[in-house]
Amino acid sequence: MAAQRSYQTEDLAALIPDGALVALPPDYSLVAMEVVRCLIRKKSRDLRLLGVPILGLSADLLIGAGCVAEVETSAVSLGEAGLAPRFTEAAEKGEIRIKDATCPAIHAALQAAEKGVPFMPIAGIGESDLVKERADWKQQGDLVLVPAIRPDFALFHARWADDAGNVWVGRRRELATAAHAARNTLVSYEEHRTGDMLDDELLAPGVISAVYIGATAQAPRGAWPLGVAGVYGVDDPHLSQYAKAAKTREGFQAYLQEWVLTKRKSSLPA
């Protein structure tokens, strides 16, 4: 699949089959929200979400819309807007499977996949009750051996994509790790840059090479209501509106109808 081909966000969503393991970043780290909305509109089912290392609004929307069967994450939160209400209810009612993890373990598991090794040893969590709940984590003395996680897809947003198919994520290096570990990486982006960003000494450190990118789609304001550093900030009033509405299933469905299922011409408020 050539990264240079012109895709739409609907095309990226169409590439993700039901049941896929999808790595998603937290709210502070370039979330492909417009692609998430496309996944909901196409009625995705039985997705397994991996938080890199935590999940937020994207996961809460997908869970509330009935798209998710399982999450593996260190937390699901809306940050300053409070708990993720659809995740919380689904967890309490046993409507989704939950694999509790911790941030270092998820990073280590992705690094193992990135390096092509079966596991990664980590220190500092051996006495945690969490280790007792994870039969796939093996304790060896003071270390815990965490098996590699190879997501079917990494999905995130980027500031720029270029003619060569590279994407620029700046200091969000966890996205690079996820892209290296995943079988396929799908990226929406704000703006197109001509040329090859890997030739630019200033930009190159924040670039993920096209070698790791399966497909890109331009989506101006595609992270909204979350933000993109240097372009637009988080829409805090909208997040608060969502958090309030999503406390009930009826409120969530009303939000979904207004902001997700009814596709807006320009995606979203400027």
Residue 220 tokens, joined: 């101006």
- Please say whether the beta carbons of 186 and 16 come within 8 A: yes
Instruction: Please report the pLDDT score of residue 3 as a whole number.
Output: 44
In this prediction, residue 128 carries a pLDDT of 87
* pLDDT at residue 105, as a whole number: 96
* The residue to which tokens 């003395």 are assigned: 141
User: Which of 66, 144, 37 lies closest to 101, judged by CA?
Assistant: 144
SS3 annotation, 34-52: HHHHHHHHCCCCCEEEEEC
- Specify the pLDDT at position 126: 86
User: What's the count of helices (H) and strands (E) in the chain, helices before strands?
Assistant: 9, 12
Task: Kindly give the parts of the chain with pLDDT less than 50.
Answer: 1-3, 266-267
Q: Give the CB-side neighbour count of residue 145, counting CA atoms within 13 A.
A: 8
pLDDT at 127: 84
**Looking at residue 1, what is its pLDDT?**
38
Q: What is the pLDDT of residues 212-244, one digit of tens each?
A: 999 999 999 999 999 999 999 999 999 999 999
Q: What is the pLDDT of residue 121?
A: 96
Tokens of 132: 């007792």
Torsion of Cα atoms, 255 then 261 then 266 then 267, to 10°? 60
Residue identified by tokens 């009935």 is 66
**Taking Cα atoms as reference points, which of 76, 231, 61, 234 lies closest to residue 158?**
231
Q: Can you tell me whether residue 72 is helix, strand or coil? A: strand
Can you state the angle between helices 236-245 and 249-256, rounded to 10 degrees?
A: 130
pLDDT at 265: 55
pLDDT for position 266: 47
Contact between residue 109 and residue 147 where contact means Cβ atoms under 8 Å apart: yes
CATH architecture for the domain at 9-261: 3-Layer(aba) Sandwich (3.40)
